[in-house]
Each structure stands twice: as structure tokens, then as C-alpha cells.
Amino acid sequence: MAQRELPSQDSFASRRSPSPSFDLLDRLATGLYTLASMLVGEGEDSARLVEAVIANAEVFSGSDLGQTTKKGQLELCKAAIGLLAQRNPKSVAAPVGLEHANTCIGDDELDAAGVSKEELSRMIAGPELRIWLAGLSDALRVIFVLRAVGGLTASETASLLASFGGPAATAWTAEMVREAFRQALCSLASQLIQATTTR
């Protein structure tokens, strides 16, 4: 079996910032906690994941804060997937016999659900997105967060799941991730429509 190519640190959206300071470190930790809480839930587990990343000397080996942020996000995603697999070995298992479903979303891009990057950022700051994420399976939630929030491709997401999700996750492919992401986007679009009609 060919070795899977993991996503590069450049896969994550960079943040341009001045030279590191305590304030910037605090902002980095806050951003990492937001990402961790979407992946594994709020609380001690997310805090421990962030602490482990912040304590990793390799993450802070460079002087560029944008690269530091990318490194931190990537390391956190690896650890979060591993934690989910540790909690339940089948939680991020690759689906068996997954076939293309006729969903309300034909494309595996965020804007196919009628959501822009700016709108997603606003949603992350509010409770609605977290409530919706909590209703997803672990695998769908991870795929949505890695692709929509982390900006990873389907291939990069499949590589992370297969490499850090335990034995049950090794069969993840890019096409499986695309299909799962479309399902998540369809669910999000339905949620947004429902929220609009009930206002």
C-alpha cells in the first residue's frame, strides 16, 4: 500500500501578524481552542490538546507567526482525531460500501450550501453552528471542520483520518471524504433554511 501524503502546513489559512508576543500567543491559543472545541467538544479535552500544542517546541521553531499558526493547527488536528479514535475506535471509521447519495448539494464546496467564508466566521462565533456540529457524527463533524474551517482538500483530510484515526480509519479515501462533506453541507443548508423560516 502506497504511503499516504499528509497535508502540508501551507494547507491551512495563514494569519499575518507581527513578531510573537504574549498577546499573540494568547490569540493563537484562543484560535486553537476554538478549533479543538469544534472537533472534540468544549472542556478539559480541548484545553489539554491546546496545551500540548503550545508546549511543542517544534511548533515555535520558526519566527514567522503565520507558519507557527499553521503548524499548531495541523498538530492539533492530528491529536484531536487520535483522541476521538481513543474514545471510540469506530467513531472516525471509514464507511463500508459508501455510495453517492442524491443530496441537496451537488458540489463539495462550502459555497454550495450558500455559506461564504465570512458568514462561516460569523457562525463560528455564535452558538448555532456548534449546536449543529454537536448533532453530527464524529466523522462528519471532523470532515466538515477540517475542510470548511481548516481549508484542507479532500485528499489531505482523508490522509489525516487514515493516519491518525486508528485501524478502522485506514481505508478513508478522498472520494469518501467528498461524499461525507456533501452530506454535511446538505445538513447545514437545511439548518440554515429552517432557521430563516422560523425567524
Supply the pLDDT for residue 106: 55
Q: Are 67 and 145 in contact (CB under 8 A)?
A: no
- C-alpha grid cell, residue 17: 501578524
pTM for this structure?
Answer: 0.78
Instruction: Single out the residue in 87, 120, 147 at which a domain terminates.
Output: 87
With 0-12 / 13-18 / 19 or more C-beta atoms within 10 angstroms meaning exposed / middle / buried, residue 91 is buried
Q: Residue 36 domain-assigned?
A: yes
Query: Do 95 and 82 belong together in one domain?
Result: no
d(CA 191, CA 134): 13
Check pLDDT > 50 for residue 151. yes
Pair (67, 95) in one structural domain: no
Segment 70-108, tens digit of pLDDT: 888 999 999 999 999 999 999 999 998 766 655 555 555
**pLDDT higher than 70, residue 3:** no
On whether residue 1 sits in a domain, the answer given is: no
16 and 52, same domain (yes or no): yes
Q: Which of 66, 72, 61 is nearest to 17 (CA)?
A: 66
How many distinct structural domains can be found in the chain? 2
Asked whether residue 143 is assigned to any structural domain, the reply reads yes
Distances (CA, A) of 88 to 27, 64, 178: 31, 37, 23
Both 97 and 136 in one domain: the answer is yes
Residue written as cell 442524491?
A: 102
What is the domain extent for residue 109?
90-199
Q: Do 112 and 32 belong to one domain? A: no
Q: 133 and 66 in one domain?
A: no
Same structural domain for residues 107 and 186? yes
pLDDT > 90: percent of the chain: 41
Q: Are residues 188 and 129 in the same domain?
A: yes
- Determine how many CB atoms are found less than 10 A away from the CB of residue 2: 4
Domain match, 153 and 110 both: yes
Of 52, 68, 87, the residue at which a domain comes to its end is 87
Q: Please tell me whether residues 102 and 44 are part of one structural domain.
A: no
Judgement on whether residues 94 and 186 belong to the same structural domain of the protein: yes
Same domain assignment for residues 70 and 157: no
Q: How does residue 15 score in pLDDT terms, banded at 50, 70 and 90?
A: very low
* Better pLDDT: 32 or 198: 32
**What average pLDDT is seen over the chain?**
80
